C-alpha cells in the first residue's frame, strides 16, 4: 500500500504491461503510489531518490536490463528494487542476479505466476498469437516443442490462481492434445469435487470460425472497426456532429449484460432497460415534486447512464446497417452449408446452386468471405475434386489467396474426397432458433455432455478420472508442489467448475455459446491469442 508522501517507479516489459492494462487504469497506479511507468527494455532516466518496482517476465534480456540498473557508480539508477516475476525464474538467470551488485538493493523478490490475460470475467488469454502457426505448421516442430511446456505452465497457473484443481480430459483425435494433457507441469491433479479441465484444439470445430456470428459482441468485432475495445461513433447535434468514444469492457454493465445476446434482441432490451431507468427516475421526480419529466433527465447525475443507453442503441444500429449492407446473404448461405439443410429443415440437394451466385457476386465482398463459403462447401461435400476446387477459386477471383484453402490440410483435413466422414455426428437440438443462427458450435455439445455426464470417454479420455473427495490433503504436482494442501473449504466456490482450453484460439461464437452451456457448471474459459474472427481467417 502507498505510504503518505512515498512514490515509486513501476518498470515493466511488454507481457506484464499487457496483463496490467487488461485490468487496471492509469489512475489505479497513481492511487497505489506509482509516479512513473517505464519500459524495462528502453533507456531510462536515473532517479536515485526513488525506489523501483520491477514487474516482468524472467527472460535473459529483461534480467540483464535489471542488473544493469544497479551496476553504475557512484549511484544506482534507483534507490532500491522490489522485483516481481510474473512466472518462474530459470535457475541460470537467478544465479546471474545472485552474482550481481543488485543484491545490495533488493527489498522484495517474488514469483507470482500470472502468465495470462483476463479478457472477460470468465475468459482468459495465454497471449501467444504465434502459437497457432507453430502448432499447425509442419515446419515449426522445434518451436512447438519449446512452447508445449510453457503452455502447460500457463494453464496450471490459471488453475492455481482460480483455486481450481481439476481432472484433465482431452480430445483423443490429435496427438498434441495428449502431449499437452500429459505435460510435466500439469502434474497429477485429482479433481476438486467434479471440476474438470477440457483440452481441445482449434481443428475440433472448423465450421464455427467460418460463420458470421449474430450475437452482439461478435457482430461488433466482426463488422465494425473496434480497436482495443474502443468503439468510435458520431452523434448528431442541432448544428453539427460530434465524434465520441466508448470503452466496451467489464465496467460497462450494459455491455456485460448484452454482449452475448442475439442482435435481434439487443435493441429491444436496451429500450426496455431505458424505459425502466426513466420510470425509476419518474418516481424520484414525483417525490421531489418536479412537474416537468424532461427536467430530471437533464440533470448531470443522469447523463452518464443516458449516454450508455444511447451508445448501445447506436452500436446495435451500426451493426445492423453493416449486416444489411454486407453479410446478410452470406449468413443465409453459410448457415445452410454448415447445417446441410435450409431454414425449413430440408436437405440441400445441390449446394453448388447456392454458392456460385455468392462467388460471382460483383459487389465489393471480402475475399475472405468467399474463402469461408468455399471451405464450408468442401466440408459439406466431404471433400471435392481438385478440378472443382480450381474452378471455385476462379469463380471467386481469389487465385492469389488460394493457398489459404490448401493450407487447411495442416489442420488434418483432406480437401479431396475420401472414405469416412468429415462431418461429425451432432447433438439433436429441439429449441427454437433464429433463421440465420441455426448452427451451434460443437464445443457446446461437449460441455453440455460433461454437465450431463454423457461425454464419450473413448473420444475424451481423462488423465486421471475425477473422483469427488472430502479430504483436504492434496496431491503433489511436480512443477508447483502442494498446490492445494489444506486449503480451507470456504475459499472455494460451491459446485464444480469447467475449464475449457482451446489450443489454437477460440471464436466469439464459441465464447457466446459457452455462456449458456453447462446446466449448473460454471464455465471458465481459457484461450490464447486474440479473439478469432472469420474476416481474419
CATH of the domain at 349: 1.25.40.60
* In contact, 69 and 77? CB cutoff 8 Å: yes
- Give domain status of residue 429, yes or no: no
- Give domain status of residue 426, yes or no: no
Local structure of residue 90 (DSSP, 8 states): P
Report the SS3 class of residue 260.
coil
Same domain, 23 and 95: yes
Q: What is the grid cell recorded at 457?
A: 470417454
Q: How far apart are CA 234 and CA 238, in angstroms?
A: 13
Give me the helices (H) in 340-468, please. Answer: 351-360, 367-380, 386-396, 402-406, 442-451
Kindly report the backbone phi and psi dihedral angles of residue 37, in degrees, each rounded to the nearest multiple of 5, phi listed first.
Answer: -115, 125
Q: How far apart are CA 257 and CA 418, in angstroms?
A: 45
Distance between first and last Cα of the chain: 45
CATH number of the structural domain spanning residue 86? 3.40.50.2060
* In contact, 366 and 360? CB cutoff 8 Å: no
- Residue 248 neighbours by CB under 8 Å, 6+ apart: 217, 220, 226, 229, 230, 231, 255, 259
**Angle between helical axes of 386-396 and 367-380 (0-180°, round to 10):** 150
* In contact, 464 and 190? CB cutoff 8 Å: yes
Report the SS3 class of residue 287.
helix
Q: For residue 207, what pLDDT is reported?
A: 92
Q: How far apart are CA 255 and CA 308, in angstroms?
A: 9
Q: How far apart are CA 246 and CA 234, in angstroms?
A: 11
Local structure of residue 100 (DSSP, 8 states): S
- Give domain status of residue 238, yes or no: yes
Report the SS3 class of residue 497.
strand
Residue 448 domain boundaries: 118-205+441-471+489-527
Q: For residue 105, what pLDDT is reported?
A: 92
- Give domain status of residue 76, yes or no: yes
Q: How far apart are CA 13 and CA 526, in angstroms?
A: 23
Report the SS3 class of residue 400.
helix
Measure CA 184 to chain center: 25
Same domain, 270 and 355: no
Q: Which of 318, 342, 369 is the last residue of a domain?
A: 318
CA atoms in the 13 A half-sphere facing the CB of 241: 6
Same domain, 150 and 64: no
- Give domain status of residue 253, yes or no: yes
Same domain, 12 and 68: yes
Local structure of residue 289 (DSSP, 8 states): T
Closest CA to 158 of 501, 443, 489: 501
Q: Which of 89, 114, 139 is the last residue of a domain?
A: 114
CATH number of the structural domain spanning residue 245? 3.90.830.10
Q: What is the grid cell recorded at 491?
A: 475459499
Same domain, 376 and 341: yes
Same domain, 193 and 258: no
CATH number of the structural domain spanning residue 133? 3.40.50.1910
Q: Which residue has the cell 437533464?
A: 298
> pLDDT tens, position by position, for the chain (537 residues)?
556 668 899 999 998 988 888 778 777 888 888 999 999 999 999 999 999 999 999 999 999 999 999 987 778 999 999 999 988 898 999 999 999 999 999 999 999 877 788 888 788 888 878 888 888 887 887 888 888 888 888 888 888 888 888 889 999 988 889 999 998 877 655 444 568 899 999 889 999 999 999 999 999 999 998 988 899 988 776 566 788 899 998 889 999 999 999 999 999 999 999 888 887 776 555 555 555 555 655 667 778 888 899 999 999 999 999 998 888 889 999 999 999 988 888 899 999 999 999 999 877 778 999 999 999 999 999 889 989 999 999 999 999 999 999 988 888 778 888 765 556 677 778 777 788 888 999 999 988 888 888 888 999 999 877 655 443 333 343 333 443 344 444 444 456 788 899 988 888 888 888 876 644 444 544 443 333 332 222
Same domain, 64 and 102: yes
Q: What is the grid cell recorded at 279?
A: 420510470
Same domain, 388 and 367: yes
Q: For residue 487, what pLDDT is reported?
A: 42
Same domain, 30 and 109: yes
Closest CA to 69 of 58, 53, 57, 84: 53
Domain count along the chain: 4
Question: What residues form DSSP beta bridges with 262?
Answer: 215
- Give domain status of residue 521, yes or no: yes
Kindly report the backbone phi and psi dihedral angles of residue 97, in degrees, each rounded to the nearest multiple of 5, phi listed first.
Answer: -65, -45
Closest CA to 191 of 467, 532, 528: 467
Q: How far apart are CA 330 and CA 23, in angstroms?
A: 36
Instruction: Answer whether the bond into residue 74 is a cis peptide, omega within 30°.
Output: yes
- Give domain status of residue 252, yes or no: yes
- Give domain status of residue 1, yes or no: no
Q: Which of 261, 292, 318 is the last residue of a domain?
A: 318
Q: How far apart are CA 47 and CA 36, in angstroms?
A: 11
Same domain, 81 and 129: no
Same domain, 234 and 305: yes
Same domain, 123 and 109: no
Q: What is the grid cell recorded at 308?
A: 450508455
Amino acid at each position: 500500500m502507498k505510504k503518505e508522501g512515498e512514490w515509486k517507479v513501476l518498470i515493466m516489459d511488454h507481457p506484464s504491461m499487457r496483463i496490467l492494462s487488461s485490468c487496471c487504469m492509469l489512475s489505479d497506479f497513481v492511487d497505489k503510489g506509482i509516479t512513473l511507468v517505464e519500459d524495462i527494455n528502453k533507456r531510462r532516466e536515473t532517479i536515485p531518490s526513488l525506489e523501483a518496482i520491477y514487474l516482468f517476465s524472467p527472460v535473459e534480456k529483461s534480467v540483464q536490463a535489471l542488473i544493469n540498473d544497479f551496476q553504475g557508480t557512484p549511484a544506482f539508477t534507483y534507490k532500491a528494487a522490489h522485483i516481481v516475476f510474473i512466472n518462474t525464474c530459470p535457475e541460470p538467470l537467478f544465479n546471474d542476479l545472485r552474482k550481481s551488485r543488485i543484491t545490495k538493493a533488493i527489498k522484495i523478490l517474488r514469483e507470482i505466476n500470472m502468465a495470462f490475460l483476463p479478457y472477460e470475467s470468465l475468459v482468459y488469454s495465454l497471449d501467444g498469437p504465434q502459437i497457432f502457426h507453430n502448432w499447425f505448421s509442419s515446419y515449426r516442430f522445434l518451436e512447438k516443442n519449446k512452447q508445449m511446456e510453457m503452455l502447460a505452465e500457463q494453464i496450471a497457473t490459471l488453475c492455481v490462481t482460480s483455486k481450481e484443481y481439476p481432472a484433465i480430459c482431452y480430445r483423443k483425435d490429435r496427438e498434441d492434445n495428449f502431449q499437452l494433457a500429459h505435460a510435466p507441469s500439469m502434474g497429477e491433479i485429482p479433481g476438486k469435487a467434479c471440476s474438470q479441465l477440457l483440452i481441445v484444439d482449434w481443428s475440433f470445430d472448423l465450421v464455427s470460425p467460418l460463420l458470421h456470428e449474430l450475437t452482439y459482441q461478435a457482430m461488433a468485432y466482426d463488422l465494425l472497426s473496434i480497436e482495443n475495445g474502443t468503439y468510435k461513433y458520431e452523434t448528431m447535434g442541432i448544428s453539427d456532429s460530434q465524434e465520441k468514444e466508448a470503452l466496451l469492457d467489464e465496467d460497462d454493465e450494459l455491455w456485460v449484460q448484452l454482449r452475448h445476446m442475439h442482435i435481434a434482441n439487443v435493441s429491444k432490451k436496451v429500450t426496455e432497460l431505458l424505459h425502466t431507468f426513466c420510470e425509476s427516475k419518474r418516481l424520484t421526480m414525483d417525490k421531489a415534486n418536479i412537474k416537468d419529466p424532461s427536467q430530471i433527465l437533464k440533470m448531470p447525475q443522469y447523463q452518464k447512464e443516458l449516454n450508455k443507453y444511447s451508445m448501445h442503441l447506436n452500436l446495435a444500429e451500426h451493426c445492423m446497417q453493416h449486416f444489411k449492407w454486407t453479410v446478410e446473404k452470406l449468413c443465409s448461405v453459410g448457415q445452410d452449408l454448415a447445417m446441410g439443410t435450409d431454414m425449413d429443415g430440408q436437405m440441400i440437394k445441390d449446394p453448388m446452386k447456392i454458392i456460385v451466385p455468392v462467388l460471382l457476386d460483383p459487389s465489393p465482398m471480402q475475399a475472405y468471405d468467399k474463402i469461408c463459403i468455399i471451405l464450408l462447401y468442401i466440408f459439406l461435400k466431404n471433400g471435392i475434386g481438385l478440378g472443382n476446387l480450381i474452378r471455385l477459386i476462379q469463380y471467386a477471383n481469389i487465385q492469389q489467396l488460394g493457398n489459404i484453402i490448401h493450407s487447411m490440410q495442416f489442420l488434418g483435413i483432406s480437401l479431396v474426397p475420401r472414405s469416412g466422414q468429415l462431418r461429425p455426428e451432432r447433438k439433436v437440438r429441439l429449441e427454437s432458433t433464429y433463421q440465420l443462427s441455426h448452427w451451434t458450435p460443437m464445443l457446446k455439445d461437449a460441455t453440455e455432455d460433461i454437465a450431463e455426464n454423457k461425454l464419450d470417454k473413448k473420444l475424451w479420455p481423462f488423465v486421471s478420472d475425477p473422483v469427488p473427495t472430502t479430504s483436504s490433503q492434496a496431491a503433489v504436482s511436480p512443477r508447483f508442489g502442494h498446490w492445494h494442501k489444506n486449503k480451507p473449504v470456504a475459499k472455494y466456490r460451491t459446485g464444480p467448475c469447467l475449464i475449457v482450453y482451446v489450443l489454437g484460439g477460440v471464436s466469439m461464437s464459441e465464447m457466446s455459446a459457452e455462456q449458456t452451456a453447462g446446466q449448473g457448471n460454471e464455465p471458465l474459459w481459457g484461450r490464447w491469442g486474440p479473439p478469432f474472427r472469420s474476416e481474419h481467417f
